[in-house]
Amino acid sequence: MTAQEVATAVPPEASDSFPADRRLEAYRTMVLARSLDDRCIALQRQGRIGFYAPHAGQEAALLGSAYALAPDDWVFPAYRELVVALVRGASLQSVVDQLFADSGDLTKGRQMPNHFAFRAQHFVSASSPIGTQIPQAVGAAMAARSRQAPIATIAYFGDGATSSNDFHAGMNFAGVFRAPTIFFCQNNGWAISLPRDRQTRSPTLAGKADAYGFPGVVVDGNDVGAVYTAVRRARRRAVAGEGPTLIEAQVYRFGPHSTSDDPRRYRADSEVESARLRDPVHRLKTELLSAHLLDEAGDAKIWEEARGTIQGAVTAAEAAAPVGPLSFFDDVYASLTPRLAEERAGAAAQVPAEARRP
Amino acid sequence: MTELTLVQAVNRALFDAMRSDPDVLLLGEDVGVNGGVFRATDGLLKEFGAERVIDTPLSETGIVGAAVGMALYGLKPVAEIQFLDFIYPAFDQIVSELAKMRYRSGGQFPCHVVVRAPYGGGIKGGLYHSQSTEAYFCHTAGLKVVVPSTPADAKGLLLSAIRDEDPVIFLEPKRLYRSATGEVPDGDPAVPLGRARVVREGTDVSLIAYGAMIPPTLEAAATLGTEGVSAEVLDLRTLVPLDEKSVVASVEKTGRAVAVHEAARFCGFGAEIAALLAEKAFYSLKAPIGRVTGYDTPFPYALEQLYLPDAPRIAAAARAAMTAG
């Protein structure tokens, strides 16, 4: 099914358009996200955080999809989706605390930066293995439907994940069971060093949905409004019992795969410069300027405020207490097993007395 | 009390769990219309419907991946893997996702799935219908690993596993599915996880086994009895968390230990038993710790009876322990 056919199958509704009164707010979030990205790369280079996976270039896809979801929907993220968590109400402080793995980190310092989990926002814990969240999103969607909950689940993943066996398993289950799931593929062109055409000979990633018996659509991932509309329609289909949709948001990863990566080994700077001409932040800014919702002075203020907000969160994170030294024994099981209790007691002897806290 | 085979006891546990808790559901290959290739889920589709007894596409990754998502949402899925030998496509979902979800989310996302899988040899199943690879799962923090050996334990332990808060790998000795029969309480036999059971008391040597190795171990103990050797047989029932106290207490009493399992020897569960006893019962030991296990080969088809530990091999290891030192 082509995008056009999907549009026919799901009649457009006024609510499919990005809400006009939230465009400026979306831009503020986008600026916050871009500023956070810049700051986090610097923090990693300075040795203040251990790792970071940037999202620059993908903000419109992230924001457009996040705005299109309902609070009760469930998000199964990969590791560039902190913007989605922010839109759903996770605090910037809790995001930054995760990056610093301090005592404010809701994941208790267990994982590398970018592997968030926010229960209150139905933002499921991210892992590093690629694609594993995809069948999980399908299972959660089946569970929600069995409880008659009118919600959708959304799985975020990249172009590389479409080669994983979990992508196949999840897409296939979703097709067979008509699961209310949105598969949101951010095709950013590169899976670390491998270009999109090293993942598949398929003309589009969205086209893979054909084989599983449900629609796939390609959307300009630099256009926050277009992404919003695509996800709204997919969500309506899902909640109406019409089954899943695969959305391929075409974006470009401006930065490295992560702070451990040097993209100049595998792609030309000119390619990045060319992609930056389609920068989603500039694009939304231009739209707001021409709609007279923003002027240059207002824009400068938004950037300044974003940097200030981030500085506040970084300062607080660096002042926060570290995670408790023996807390890594918690949450392995619902309660400490006898063996873990013994190991924990042994490990306690390694911990300096002044650092021992519950 | 009702006399049941082990597979009937599994079926009864699933029935009771689903009847008492609407959040419990089953998914797997051939579990619905066909009632499972071993009939473990026979009749459940008719009783509970297709929303709760789900015949899935042939994908272990999909079965466990979907079960993880269902559990995150709040249901209590019991996933069936048709044979333990086929679990590996789901290994990533089990060890990277299911086992670590609670931990990596800082306790925000508990993820309780029971993964049932028939395991073990003795049914002429060759390489891929016979293996006993519990050690892979025992080595992964966050999983519980349970292996029943009797119908009553199969029902009681499975009910406990379904009601537990942690993910459980529930390994069913398929060789005993129909050969093991016994009285099973009609209600909840209430067999807690993490508790071993002394099947036969003895004073000279502790035979430590689980699952399908319990019958030959008991046979060996009976033979030893006729020779004047009093063998204690301990059924571990739960490998993780291991009932270390019962293992240590038994060996402190007898001074001799033989660990028995059909899994390969190297890095098998018997190595953990031996290490535990070396650490915590060393001064009670009167003889080296024996191990009777499968061999460090793939599982052979034509010669499986040579591969699998049997009563004579177990008895021989016990005699060696009796004469050592």
The per-residue pLDDT for range A74-92, each reduced to its tens digit, is 999 999 999 999 999 999 9
pLDDT of A8 reads 47
pLDDT of A356 reads 61
Residue A76 · residue A174 · CB < 8 Å: no
Q: How many CB atoms lie within 10 A of CB A241?
A: 10
pLDDT bucket at A351, cuts 50 / 70 / 90: confident
pLDDT of A9 reads 58
For B50, phi then psi, to 5°, come to -75, -15
> Environment class of residue B297 by beta-carbon count within 10 Å: exposed (0-12), middle (13-18) or buried (19+)?
exposed
What is the secondary structure of A104-117 as a DSSP string? T-TTTT-S-TT---
Contact A138 B65 (CB under 8 A): yes
Mean pLDDT score of chain A: 95
Determine how β-strand B53-55 pairs with β-strand B24-28: parallel
Contact A127 B105 (CB under 8 A): no
Contact A125 B108 (CB under 8 A): yes
CA distance B323 to B325: 7
Does B95 contact chain A (CB < 8 Å)?
no
The per-residue pLDDT for range B17-65, each reduced to its tens digit, is 999 999 999 999 999 999 999 999 999 999 999 999 999 999 999 999 9
Contacts of residue B169, Cβ cutoff 8 Å, sequence gap at least 6? B94, B115, B117, B134, B137, B143, B144, B145, B146
CA distance B13 to B27: 15
CA distance B194 to A45: 47
Task: Indicate the residue of B66, B100, B194 with minimum beta-carbon distance to A173.
Answer: B66
pLDDT of A258 reads 94
Contact A134 B65 (CB under 8 A): yes
ipTM of the modeled complex: 0.96
Task: Tell me which residues of chain A, numbers 55 to 84, contact chain B at a CB-CB cutoff of 8 Å.
Answer: 74, 76
Buried b (16+ CB within 10 A) or exposed e, A148-178: ebebbbbbbbbbbbbebbbbbbbbbbbbbbb
CA distance B269 to B135: 6
Task: Indicate the residue of A106, A136, A330 with minimum beta-carbon distance to B69.
Answer: A136
Helix (H/G/I), strand (E/B), else coil: A241: coil
pLDDT bucket at B107, cuts 50 / 70 / 90: very high
Residue the block writes with tokens 């979800």 = B101
Q: What is the mean pLDDT of residues A243-259?
A: 96
Taking 50 as the threshold, does the pLDDT of residue B268 lie above it? yes
pLDDT of A1 reads 47
CA distance B135 to B270: 10
Contact A138 B68 (CB under 8 A): no
CA distance B33 to B239: 33
pLDDT of A198 reads 95
Task: Tell me which residues of chain A, numbers 314 to 353, contact chain B at a CB-CB cutoff of 8 Å.
Answer: 330-334, 337-339
Tokens read off for B182: 């016994």
pLDDT bucket at B187, cuts 50 / 70 / 90: confident
The per-residue pLDDT for range A112-134, each reduced to its tens digit, is 999 999 999 999 999 999 999 99
Taking 90 as the threshold, does the pLDDT of residue A271 lie above it? yes
Give me the total of CB pairs closer than 8 Å, taking one residue from chain A and one from chain B.
154
The per-residue pLDDT for range A125-177, each reduced to its tens digit, is 999 999 999 999 999 999 999 999 999 999 999 999 999 999 999 999 999 99
Domain architecture of chain A: domains with CATH: 3-323 (3.40.50.970), 325-358 (no CATH)
pLDDT of B325 reads 64
pLDDT bucket at A15, cuts 50 / 70 / 90: confident
Domain architecture of chain B: domains with CATH: 2-184 (3.40.50.970), 197-323 (3.40.50.920)
Does B166 contact chain A (CB < 8 Å)?
yes
